[in-house]
Chains A and B, each alone.
Chain A
Amino acid sequence: MIGLGYTLPAIISVVGVCVLEWSVLRTGLFRTRAYWISMVIVFGFQVLVDGWLTKLSAPIVIYNEAHTSGLRFPWDIPVEDFLFGWALVTAVLLLWVRQRPDQKESR
């Protein structure tokens, strides 16, 4: 329950992504409506998919409870998963927005 193995890195990943945006990439993504609407949609689907992966009755991913906070919500999803998922998706979105669109696309 000390959370060193998962809780701490999950928090660090969120801080890391914020620092990346605010001090390096500066895309302004966090100030766009499209980003936050997307995050709400992604969150909804994460609950479904992650809920299935982590359900304690027949788990696909099995967590060592010594490394998590022990908080599971909703269903049996370790809350750390939402930090992990947010950092993963947001980091890719930041780099995506930072890149120019590929050329040769017909408009």
Chain B
Amino acid sequence: MDRWQYLLILVGCILITLPLEAFGRGVYRQPRRLLRALTPVLLVFLVWDAVAIALDVWHYNPRFVSGIEMPFMPLEELLFFIVIPLCGLLTYSAVSSVLGILGRSRATMAARSRR
């Protein structure tokens, strides 16, 4: 089981943040916007990661990774750079949506009390 640890952590991140998709316009429901925001950053960080691995700045414990290798890095590391930004986007999308709802209800109450 140990070798699935890193992958399971990433799956956990996806599952925990999934309900946030319900807020506002969501993130997964805007696939083109998601790709345009994610891809350039993904490329920069993958290069950084590949260089860091090549120069032995960090490496991965073979005990806790699946053993599926992508060019330059384990599969999990590639997924990390997709999963973590997704979690951040879903959080931001949900927070913006909640603040918007709160703002609108406050405005409605203010309008009512003025009457």
Chain A residues near B (Cβ < 8 Å): 5-6, 9, 13, 33-35, 37-38, 41-42, 45, 49, 52-53, 58-64, 67, 85, 88-89, 91-93, 95-96, 98-102, 105
Known: A37-B95, A49-B13, A93-B89. 8 other contacts (CB 8 A): A5-B57, A9-B48, A34-B99, A53-B6, A58-B64, A60-B61, A89-B85, A105-B29
A100-B57 in contact given A38-B88, A45-B87, A88-B85 (Cβ < 8 Å): no
Contact count band on B: 35 or more
A60 to B88 CA separation, bound complex (whole angstroms) = 22
List, sorted by A's number, 13 A–B pairs whose CB atoms are closer than 8 Å.
Answer: A5-B52, A34-B92, A35-B92, A38-B91, A38-B95, A88-B41, A88-B88, A96-B37, A96-B92, A98-B37, A101-B25, A102-B30, A105-B25
Determine if A6 and B52 form an interchain contact, defined as CB atoms under 8 angstroms apart: yes
Q: Is B115 an interface residue (CB 8 A)?
A: no
CB-defined interface of B17-32 with A at 8 Å, one 1/0 digit per residue? 0000000010001111
Contacts A63-B57, A88-B45, A100-B33; is A49 near B92 (CB within 8 Å)? no
B15 at the interface (CB under 8 A from A): no
B residues near A92, Cβ cutoff 8 Å: 37-38, 41, 85, 88-89
